[in-house]
Amino acid sequence: MTGDVDRRSELARTEGRNLFIWEVFARKAYEEPLHHVGTITEPDEDLALVAARAVYDEQPWIQMIIVPRAAIREAISA
């Protein structure tokens, strides 16, 4: 995920660390669509994966994914 995505607009400086915003999506059954369950702020993809599992483990998810916020594109704009 890193490298191809321009995340400069989503970069935050916190206590000298570069942090990126990651959107977390999950589902309880394969028949269900993925649902947005929250946001994680971490410096890299590996830490974001660990944080997403730790923070959003209250449900019996069968699938959880993370997406860099900067990679999300608006399809319709009013």
CB atoms within 10 A of CB 22: 26
Residue with tokens 């400069």: 8
Tens of each residue's pLDDT in the chain, 78 residues: 444 344 444 555 555 568 999 999 999 999 999 999 999 999 999 999 999 999 999 999 999 999 999 999 999 998
What pLDDT score does 78 carry?
A: 85
Closest CA relative to residue 7, chosen from 48, 64, 38, 37: 48
Looking at residue 47, which CATH number applies to its domain? Answer: 3.10.20.520
On the CB side of 62, how many CA atoms lie within 13 Å of its CA? 8
What pLDDT score does 36 carry?
A: 97
What pLDDT score does 53 carry?
A: 97
Rounded to whole angstroms, the Cα distance separating 43 from 57 reads 21
What pLDDT score does 18 carry?
A: 85
Domain contains 78: no
Domain contains 61: yes
Rounded to whole angstroms, the Cα distance separating 47 from 42 reads 6
Domain contains 36: yes
Domain contains 62: yes
Number of structural domains the chain divides into = 1
Domain contains 50: yes
Full residue range of the structural domain in which residue 15 is found: 8-71
